[in-house]
Amino acid sequence: MDKPNDLMDKLVSLCKRRGFIFQSSEIYGGLNGCWDYGPLGVELKRNVKNLWWRDMVTSRDDMVGLDASIIMNPKVWEASGHVGGFADPMIDCKKCKGRFRADQLYYAVREGQSRQGGSASVWFSAIADKVEDASAVMELQLKKKGRQIREWTNDFELVRYDQEQSEQAPCPACDEKGSLTVPRAFNLMFKTHCGAMEDSSSVTYLRPETAQGIFVNFKNVLDTQRLKLPFGIAQIGKAFRNEINPRNYTFRSREFEMMEVEYFCHPSQADQWYQYWRKARFDWYVNLGLRSDRLRLRDHEKDELAHYAKSCVDIEYAFPFGVSELEGVANRTDFDLKRHQEYSGRDMSYYDDQTKERFLPYVIEPSAGVDRSVLAFLCEAYTEDEAPDDKGLPQKRVLMRLHPKLAPIKVAVFPLVKKDRMQEIAHKIHEQLKGRWNAFYDEKGAVGRRYRRQDEAGTPFCITVDGQTLEDQTVTIRDRDSLAQDRVSCDRIVDYLSEHLGN
Ligand code: ATP
Write the DSSP string, 362-394: EEEEEEEEHHHHHHHHHHHHEEEEEEE-TTS-E
Q: What is the pLDDT of residue 148?
A: 38
* CATH, residue 432: 3.40.50.800
Name the closest-CA residue to atom 18, ligand 1: 327
Residues 6+ apart with CB under 8 A from 74: 83, 203, 204, 205
Q: Does residue 325 sit in the same domain as residue 279? A: yes
Residue 72, SS3 per DSSP:
coil
More confident residue, 398 or 188: 398
Largest Cα–Cα separation, the chain: 84
Query: Residue 405 C-alpha to ligand 1 middle, in angstroms?
Result: 25
Per the structure, the complete domain to which residue 354 belongs is given by 4-67+208-378
Lowest mean pLDDT, pick from 184-188, 237-241, 394-398, 491-495: 184-188
Name the closest-CA residue to atom 9, ligand 1: 328
Percentage helix, strand, coil, to 5, in the chain? 40, 25, 30
Q: Does residue 323 sit in the same domain as residue 446? A: no
| Residues 382 and 11: beta-carbon distance below 8 Å | yes
Q: What is the mean pLDDT of residues 432-437?
A: 95
Q: Does residue 28 sit in the same domain as residue 164? A: no
Strand runs (DSSP E) across 12-65, as ranges? Answer: 21-23, 35-37, 63-65
Q: Does residue 228 sit in the same domain as residue 294? A: yes
Of ligand 1's atoms, which has the minimum distance to the CA of residue 369?
A: 20
pLDDT confidence band for 135 (50 / 70 / 90): very low
Name the closest-CA residue to atom 19, ligand 1: 369
Name all residues whose Cβ lies below 6 A of ligand 1.
209, 241, 243, 252-253, 256, 258, 325-328, 367-369, 371-372
With the most atoms of ligand 1 within 8 angstroms of its CB, the residue from 149, 256, 364 to mutate is 256
The total of structural domains in the chain comes to 3
Q: Say if 394 falls within a structural domain.
A: no
More confident residue, 395 or 267: 267
| Residues 113 and 48: beta-carbon distance below 8 Å | no
Q: What is the mean pLDDT of residues 417-427?
A: 93
With the most atoms of ligand 1 within 8 angstroms of its CB, the residue from 281, 325, 374 to mutate is 325
Could you give the CA distance from residue 232 to residue 225 in angstroms, rounded to a whole number?
Answer: 12
462-488, pLDDT tens digit by residue? 999 999 999 999 999 999 999 999 999
Q: Say if 196 falls within a structural domain.
A: no
| Residues 86 and 207: beta-carbon distance below 8 Å | no
Q: What is the mean pLDDT of residues 235-258?
A: 93
Q: What is the pLDDT of residue 278?
A: 97
Q: Say if 388 falls within a structural domain.
A: no
| Residues 317 and 323: beta-carbon distance below 8 Å | yes
Q: Which of 187, 218, 247 is the last residue of a domain?
A: 187
How many other CB atoms are found less than 10 A from the CB of residue 236? 21
Name the closest-CA residue to atom 1, ligand 1: 325
Q: What is the pLDDT of residue 155?
A: 36
Q: What is the pLDDT of residue 145?
A: 41
Residues 6+ apart with CB under 8 A from 175: none
pLDDT confidence band for 20 (50 / 70 / 90): very high
72-95, pLDDT tens digit by residue? 999 999 999 888 776 666 777 788
Q: Which of 362, 378, 394 is the last residue of a domain?
A: 378
Could you give the CA distance from residue 82 to residue 103 in angstroms, rounded to a whole number?
Answer: 18
Q: Does residue 220 sit in the same domain as residue 315? A: yes
Q: Does residue 373 sit in the same domain as residue 440? A: no
Q: Say if 15 falls within a structural domain.
A: yes
Q: Does residue 225 sit in the same domain as residue 182? A: no
Q: Does residue 165 sit in the same domain as residue 217? A: no
Q: Does residue 46 sit in the same domain as residue 91? A: no
- Using a pLDDT cut of 70, give the percent of the chain over it: 82
Residue 81, SS3 per DSSP:
coil
pLDDT greater than 90 at residue 391: no
pLDDT greater than 50 at residue 138: no
How many other CB atoms are found less than 10 A from the CB of residue 466? 19
pLDDT greater than 90 at residue 115: no
pLDDT confidence band for 163 (50 / 70 / 90): very low
What is the DSSP-derived secondary structure letter of residue 58?
I
Q: What is the pLDDT of residue 2?
A: 58
**CA distance readout (Å), 192 to 200, 203, 209, 242, 323:** 10, 6, 16, 12, 34
Amino acid at the residue 310: K
Q: Which of 73, 413, 10 is nearest to 217 (CA)?
A: 73
Query: Residue 315 C-alpha to ligand 1 middle, in angstroms?
Result: 11
What is the DSSP-derived secondary structure letter of residue 183?
P
Q: What is the pLDDT of residue 74?
A: 94
Lowest mean pLDDT, pick from 178-182, 291-295, 431-435, 499-503: 178-182
Q: What is the pLDDT of residue 176?
A: 75
Could you give the CA distance from residue 143 to residue 277 in angstroms, rounded to a whole number?
Answer: 27
Backbone dihedral angles phi then psi of residue 64, each to the nearest 5 degrees = -130, 165
What is the DSSP-derived secondary structure letter of residue 494?
H
* CATH, residue 10: 3.30.930.10
Q: Say if 165 falls within a structural domain.
A: yes
| Residues 45 and 36: beta-carbon distance below 8 Å | no
Name the closest-CA residue to atom 13, ligand 1: 367
Q: What is the pLDDT of residue 101?
A: 66
Q: Does residue 99 sit in the same domain as residue 182? A: yes
Q: Say if 464 falls within a structural domain.
A: yes
Q: Does residue 496 sit in the same domain as residue 418? A: yes
Q: Say if 396 falls within a structural domain.
A: no
Query: Residue 432 C-alpha to ligand 1 middle, in angstroms?
Result: 42
Q: What value does the mean pLDDT of the chain take?
A: 86
Given the DSSP bridges, would you call strands 99-101 and 184-187 parallel, antiparallel or unpaired? Answer: unpaired
212-246, pLDDT tens digit by residue? 999 999 999 999 998 999 999 999 999 999 987 78
pLDDT greater than 90 at residue 160: no
Q: Say if 203 falls within a structural domain.
A: no
Name the closest-CA residue to atom 31, ligand 1: 369
Q: Does residue 416 sit in the same domain as residue 492? A: yes
Query: Residue 330 C-alpha to ligand 1 middle, in angstroms?
Result: 13
pLDDT greater than 80 at residue 275: yes
| Residues 215 and 203: beta-carbon distance below 8 Å | no
Amino acid at the residue 338: K
pLDDT confidence band for 457 (50 / 70 / 90): very high
Could you give the CA distance from residue 459 to residue 440 in angstroms, rounded to a whole number?
Answer: 9
Q: What is the pLDDT of residue 373?
A: 98
Of ligand 1's atoms, which has the minimum distance to the CA of residue 325?
A: 18
Lowest mean pLDDT, pick from 88-102, 234-248, 253-267, 316-330: 88-102
